[in-house]
Amino acid sequence: MRECGFDSRRPHHAGTPVGHRVLKVGNLHLWRGDRHLLRGVAFSLEAGQALQLLWPNGTGKTSLLRCLAGFLHAEEGEVRWRGVRLTSDRDVFHQDLAYLGHETALKGDLTAMENLQYACALRMRHPPAQLQAALAATGLDRLDPQQPVRSFSAGQQRRLALARLSLWGAKLWLLDEPASNLDGAGLQVLQQMLRAHLEGGGAALLATHQAIGLEGADSRLWRDAREAA
Amino acid sequence: MNAARATALQAAVAVFRRDLLLAFRRPGEWLQALAFFVLVTVLFPLALEPEPSVLRLVAPAALWVTLLLASLLALDFLFREDARDGTLEQFVLSGQPFTALLLAKVATHWLITGLPVVLVGPLAAMSLGAPSASTPGLMLALLLGSVSLSLIGSIGAGLTLGVRRGGALLSLLVLPLVMPVLVFGARASAQAMAGEEATGALYLLAAMGVLALTLAPLAAAAAVRISME
Amino acid sequence: MNWVWFHRFGSPPYFYRFAGRWAPWFLGIAVALLLVGLYGGLAVAPVDYYQSDAFRIIYVHVPAAYLSLMTYTWMAIAAAVGLIWRIKIAHAVAAACAPAGASFTAVSLATGMIWGMPTWGTWWAWDPRLISQLFVLFFFLGYIALRGAIEDRDRADRASAVLAIVGVINVPIVHYSVEWWNSLHQAPTLLRSDGPTMPMSMAWPLLVMIGAYTFYFLAIMLMRARAEVVRRERGGAWLREILAAPEASP
């Protein structure tokens, strides 16, 4: 197994056993139509760890994330979350999971606060102060609160999606190209959020075409799907 | 984080409220459906002789065919936006029963497309010569029928998600399923307009509504999940 | 129950060989039964009291009607198997049933219309059985249309499977429509709880014809499904081996 981009300094994870393995994927095979896209993909993630998929385009980054999220069915292979097979209880897994795909799932006709309110109402009830704090943390509190999201720039919309992500309290983040459309400041917000998430004992699997610098956090880079993680 | 987990009911209510809010912010689509209904009803006296006895004969059929066509038109936007921007995906991942969330969507959709027709329908019928005494019977029949149409139509809407120009295909798929609703709805309306007891047909309409309520969400949920693969 | 045979059918090479071996036999049996049935129905069976020779169209019409319902049920079952157990072959079988089913339904409607003219005095009546049979045709066409409209093959399989299952409700409606409503169409004379009401001299060619149509359907379905399997598995090594080998197996 080759080491790649591995940072040996592991910060202490409050309340989570260091190195406790949370996600284990074994021998995953996925076909899309006639294409054998994922051939025996295997890796594991520990609490407080991030794995960045830097595979070339079209080799199955998005499909892997969508398969783990449950949208695609893998013909073969096993995925275990906290030791429990995914196929036996999807709802519990989904409660621990946050997925951010290419689409932001934001409603253009609603304001930022309203988007957060309704998105969070699906999972847990937050007091408005907390929603406001999340907006502030992503730098969106300076905008006009009555402005519909439709008029936000792509970068601002993605930041709003990140704000929503931080509110869900999920332990596993599956992020597909999270840095797309983000400017320098936005990228910093993403990095801060990821670091905080990992420090809190969460795990993250990111598909990205450029490595996101996460100094001070346990972050591995996986460049080639054909080699081991 | 002082946040309590949302129950399925709370999540469904949140979806309901969000959809209503969106419908009010963007009334174009559902107003179009209503306008279509009114316009087509006007077509009948124009196409036939404006002879009262003829119109009165045709009124139940005209009412129900128009309701059907307006429903088919409106079904187009039931899931379209939410599928496109990734909201439906987040519903699946929310850890809440997907069927309940879809049902909430169908409920709002009925509220903005079916309910206006229930209210305007008797007026349209009266313009075609129906006696005003028939209004309660007509409204009840339209109420029961439109609910079934929305529910059964959601199956077709789910199946044709992502199909280019799926409108015609949607009609082809939905029409055979909703024929009984048309038959008994028109019969109940005709009886109401003639001043007769329409209880038999109304009971059948109600039974169909109950059947649709129990089975249609399951089929629609399956169809929508498949479209996300 | 031994499920081994079930899983064996799910394997493309096995299904390919099975279909290739049995389809010609089924076709042969179908032709033989067809000849016997036609001869029995057209020449041997006694003339009907009310309808004289016009009733003989029953030997084409009734089997077609039965087969249309049977094909739909078969398609729905295959679709359900494919959906639940994720067996791709089942979807190929379901897809193979649809054109045949649509044809049987169309034949049943057309021959029904031809028969209706001398007996009822009209080509068509808005009658529960006719209408529900028409819906079966719409469902077949809708299934084919939906399959064609979705580009991703696996999604097309699964979406049309849902449609097939939803439409199954039509099958009992068609069959019982003549009992539940006052229908112009005659009540069932063959599939009845207290035995057929038709005299055996008239009924036996009917049974033979139903058998003929059934074997024909099975043959066609196997051939189409086999072609579908080839299309889906064109990259497979097993297929290349079979095609490369000399004519040892079909």
The pLDDT assigned to C193 comes to 54
The pLDDT assigned to C37 comes to 87
- Contact state of A33 with C152 under an 8 Å Cβ cutoff: yes
Joined together, the tokens standing for residue A83 give 């030791």
Q: Please, what CATH class does the domain formed by A21-222 belong to? A: alpha beta
Nearest CA to C139 among C214, C69, C219, C66?
C69
Instruction: Please compute the mean of the pLDDT values over residues C5-28 and round it to a whole number.
Output: 85
Q: How far apart are CA B116 and CA B139, in angstroms?
A: 11
What pTM did the predictor assign? 0.88
Nearest CA to A182 among A196, A171, A193?
A193
Instruction: Please compute the mean of the pLDDT values over residues C214-221 and round it to a whole number.
Output: 94
Joined together, the tokens standing for residue B114 give 């079916």
Q: What does the pLDDT look like over B189-215, one tens digit per residue?
A: 999 998 888 898 999 999 999 999 999
Interface test with B, best of C83, C141, C146, C170 (most B CBs within 10 A): C146
Q: What does the pLDDT look like over A158-213, one tens digit per residue?
A: 999 999 999 988 999 999 999 988 988 899 999 999 999 999 889 999 999 888 88
Three-state DSSP at C11 gives: coil
- Other Cβ atoms closer than 10 A to B160: 30
- Other Cβ atoms closer than 10 A to C43: 9
| pLDDT for residue B50 is more than 60 | yes
Instruction: Please compute the mean of the pLDDT values over residues C225-234 and round it to a whole number.
Output: 88
- Contact state of C154 with B229 under an 8 Å Cβ cutoff: yes
Q: What does the pLDDT look like over C23-36, one tens digit per residue?
A: 999 999 999 999 98
- Residue of chain C nearest A34, judged by CA positions: C232
Q: With contact defined as beta carbons under 8 Å apart, do A168 and A124 qualify?
A: yes
Residue A77 is given by DSSP the state E
Residue at C13: amino acid letter: P
- Contact state of B227 with C159 under an 8 Å Cβ cutoff: yes
Q: Could you tell me the pLDDT band of residue C191, with boundaries at 50, 70 and 90?
A: low
Instruction: State the chains in contact with A (3 or more Cβ–Cβ pairs under 8 Å).
Output: B, C
Does the ipTM surpass 0.90?
no
Q: With contact defined as beta carbons under 8 Å apart, do A20 and A46 qualify?
A: yes
Q: Could you tell me the pLDDT band of residue C184, with boundaries at 50, 70 and 90?
A: low
- Contact state of A123 with B11 under an 8 Å Cβ cutoff: yes
Phi/psi of residue C103, each to 5°? -65, -45
Q: How far apart are CA A113 and CA A130, in angstroms?
A: 11
Cβ-Cβ contacts under 8 Å, B159 against chain C? 146, 159, 162-163
| Helix residue ranges, H only, chain B | 8-25, 28-47, 52-75, 80-84, 87-93, 98-109, 115-127, 135-159, 166-193, 199-227
Q: How far apart are CA B37 and CA B24, in angstroms?
A: 20
* C54 Cα distance to chain centroid: 25
Joined together, the tokens standing for residue B19 give 């959809």
- Contact state of B226 with C142 under an 8 Å Cβ cutoff: no
Distance from CA of C159 to the nearest CA of A (A): 14
Q: What is the DSSP string of B31-82?
A: HHHHHHHHHHHHHHHHHS---HHHHHHHHHHHHHHHHHHHHHHHHTTTSHHH
Nearest CA to B66 among B100, B91, B43?
B43
Instruction: Please compute the mean of the pLDDT values over residues B172-182 and round it to a whole number.
Output: 89
Three-state DSSP at A139 gives: coil
Please state, rounded to an integer, the average pLDDT across all residues of chain B.
91
Distance from CA of C244 to the nearest CA of A (A): 22
Helices and strands in chain C: count of H runs, count of E runs? 9, 0
The pLDDT assigned to C183 comes to 62
Joined together, the tokens standing for residue C55 give 């009733």
Residue at A126: amino acid letter: H
Cα angle: C91, vertex C95, C100; to 5 degrees: 145
Interface test with C, best of B172, B225, B226, B229 (most C CBs within 10 A): B226
Show me where the domains of chain A are located: 21-222
- Residue of chain A nearest B24, judged by CA positions: A109
- Contact state of B14 with A122 under an 8 Å Cβ cutoff: yes
Cβ-Cβ contacts under 8 Å, C72 against chain B? none
* C86 vs A33, A34, A73: nearest CB: A73
Query: b vs e for A80-115, b when ≥16 Cβ sit within 10 Å of the residue's Cβ?
Result: bbeeeebeeebeebbbbbbbbbebbbbbbbbbbbbb
Give residue B165's region: left, alpha or beta (phi > 0; psi -120 to 50).
left
Q: Which residues of C touch B (CB under 8 A)?
A: 131, 135, 138-139, 141-142, 145-146, 149-150, 152, 154-155, 158-159, 162-163, 165-167, 170
Nearest CA to A183 among A220, A158, A204, A201?
A158
Residue A21 is given by DSSP the state E
| pLDDT for residue B64 is more than 60 | yes
Three-state DSSP at C87 gives: coil
- Contact state of A33 with C235 under an 8 Å Cβ cutoff: no
- Contact state of B89 with A103 under an 8 Å Cβ cutoff: yes
The pLDDT assigned to A15 comes to 43
| pLDDT for residue B169 is more than 80 | yes
Q: Which residues of C touch A (CB under 8 A)?
A: 86, 152-154, 232, 235
Instruction: Please compute the mean of the pLDDT values over residues C143-154 and round it to a whole number.
Output: 92
| pLDDT for residue C121 is more than 90 | no
Cβ neighbours for B31, distance < 8 A, ≥ 6 positions apart: none
Q: How far apart are CA A187 and CA A183, in angstroms?
A: 6
Least confident of B163-172, C165-174, C234-243: C234-243
Least confident of A85-99, A101-115, B46-60, C173-187: C173-187
Joined together, the tokens standing for residue C219 give 């043959």
- Contact state of B163 with C150 under an 8 Å Cβ cutoff: yes
User: Residue A24: which H helix or E strand, with range?
Assistant: strand A21-32
Low-confidence ranges of chain A (pLDDT < 70): 1-19, 228-229
Q: With contact defined as beta carbons under 8 Å apart, do C40 and C32 qualify?
A: no
Nearest CA to A194 among A227, A218, A225, A210?
A218
Joined together, the tokens standing for residue A113 give 């606060």
Instruction: Tell whether B47 is within 8 A of chain A (Cβ).
Output: no
Instruction: Tell whether B21 is within 8 A of chain A (Cβ).
Output: yes
Q: Which residues of A touch C (CB under 8 A)?
A: 32-34, 73
- Residue of chain A nearest C87, judged by CA positions: A75
* B89 vs A95, A101, A106: nearest CB: A101
Q: With contact defined as beta carbons under 8 Å apart, do A133 and B15 qualify?
A: no
Query: According to the per-residue pLDDT averaged within each range, which of A122-126, B91-95, C169-173 is highest?
Result: B91-95
